[in-house]
Amino acid sequence: MRVALVHDQLREFGGAERVLVALKKIFPKADVYTTTFDLNSLGSHKNLIKEWQIFVSWFGKIPIVNRFYSPFRFLTPLIWESFDFSKYDLVISSSGSWMSKGIKTKKPTIHISYIHHPPRYLYGYETAIEWKKYWPIKIYAYIVNHFLRIWDFQSSQRPNYLIANSEETRKRIEKFYRRDSTVIYPPVNIPKSFFNKKLNQVNNYYVTVSRLAKAKHIDILIKAANKMKFNLKIIGAGRDEEYLKSISGPSVEFLGNISDSDFKKLFLNTRAFLFASKDEEFGIAVVEAMGYGLPVITYNSGGIPEYVKDGVNGFLFDQLDPSSLIKKIEEFEKLNKEQLIEMKNQARKTAEKFSEDNFKKKILSFIKGSVLLRTEPKRTVPYARTSRG
């Protein structure tokens, strides 16, 4: 088949981009379409995609402007509807905040959209920027977002099939788009073998991996570290970095973006993984940590409880505040040697369910069963709720 992959944007590398890379491995000859593209901004990951055939939208070719998406989000419909996919048999869109599911295709082309999440800023979920603090931006956003919600619903009806990256996302798709979807969890990069020799090692620091943005609530982890005086290593970068550094005590260390080799060494010597993101649709970083046999202590929100089981492969804290997190850390610290080893084994066992091989098998099985056989997807009631709740 002639296949095209459509991705929101290629200016950073995160969980959604890992899914795109996995899809490209499944369809190595597929062309890739996106809004904006900056190879150098992908850091060490640029080697994964530098040889790809990438088609950039007209918006992405405008100097300077393409770096600032938010003020121009009203252009989203024009951007995606400008592409022509008539020469392809199958198009797979990888859709999140930029709503790449909004592309138009015509028969006999089949369009499958892998939904990472409906746009957070349209439905009341926390975003990286607190845009509601500024009245001019707030007024502008309310006007633009109203029309984008309408278009988001209309465009969600275009794909022949929808795939959700978690049960949490599947529920949001049903709620906001009034459509059924199939859950296929994203692929997670985990070590091929489990390092059992590390099971008996006692380590003296905790780690987290995240963009340093408001919705990730890194400040909760920092405040807990400040109070308990435990060592916390933070991997990642983002707009809130200076603020987070300003509230950090001497036991907190910011590592920025690190190489894969350093990442592996750090994880192999980590006591446990901490995570406090709110309404996380899946949480690739959490599963990745579990792949190294790390117990995780994470906020009980979004799609996380689908695979983190309290007291089995990690711990879930219920209140988004330092005291709730501290209680679970204290519970973790009370584990004896045998209990800790069992939790590490359970964490690794859970992570293995989300391997790249499993992702490939499920994607190909879905295409074979739904697309090649042309079975009709089920739809729910044809109207949308345009706000959360």
Q: Do 168 and 216 belong together in one domain?
A: no
Residue count of the chain: 389
Residue 89 lies in a domain: yes
Q: Do 175 and 236 belong together in one domain?
A: no
Residue 96 lies in a domain: yes
Q: How many domains does the chain have?
A: 2
Report how far residue 89's alpha carbon sits from residue 156's, in angstroms, rounded to the nearest whole number: 20
Per-residue pLDDT of the chain (389 residues; tens, 9 = 90+): 899 999 999 988 888 899 999 999 999 999 999 999 988 888 777 888 888 999 999 999 988 776 677 778 889 999 999 999 999 999 999 999 899 999 999 999 999 999 999 998 899 887 766 655 666 767 777 788 899 999 999 999 999 999 999 999 999 999 999 999 999 999 998 887 665 555 445 578 999 998 888 889 999 999 999 999 999 999 988 888 999 999 999 999 999 888 777 888 888 889 999 999 999 999 999 999 999 999 999 999 999 999 999 999 999 999 999 999 999 999 999 999 999 999 999 999 999 999 999 999 999 999 988 766 665 555 665 544 444 43
Report how far residue 93's alpha carbon sits from residue 112's, in angstroms, rounded to the nearest whole number: 6
Q: Do 362 and 340 belong together in one domain?
A: no
User: What is the extent of the structural domain holding 289?
Assistant: 196-354
Q: Do 203 and 324 belong together in one domain?
A: yes
Q: Do 206 and 117 belong together in one domain?
A: no
**Inter-axis angle of helices 356-366 and 15-26, nearest 10:** 60
Best CA proximity match to 54, nearest among 41, 73, 39, 40: 39
Report how far residue 17's alpha carbon sits from residue 249's, in angstroms, rounded to the nearest whole number: 33
Residue 81: both structure tokens together: 């509807």
Residue 382 lies in a domain: no
Residue 136 lies in a domain: yes
Q: Do 16 and 50 belong together in one domain?
A: yes
Best CA proximity match to 234, nearest among 258, 262, 255, 217: 255
Residue 320 lies in a domain: yes
Report how far residue 27's alpha carbon sits from residue 64's, in angstroms, rounded to the nearest whole number: 32
Q: What is the CATH number of the domain that holds 26?
A: 3.40.50
Residue 379 lies in a domain: no
Q: Do 256 and 337 belong together in one domain?
A: yes
Q: What is the CATH number of the domain that holds 220?
A: 3.40.50.2000
pTM score, whole prediction: 0.88
Residue 316 lies in a domain: yes
Best CA proximity match to 104, nearest among 88, 87, 86, 81: 81
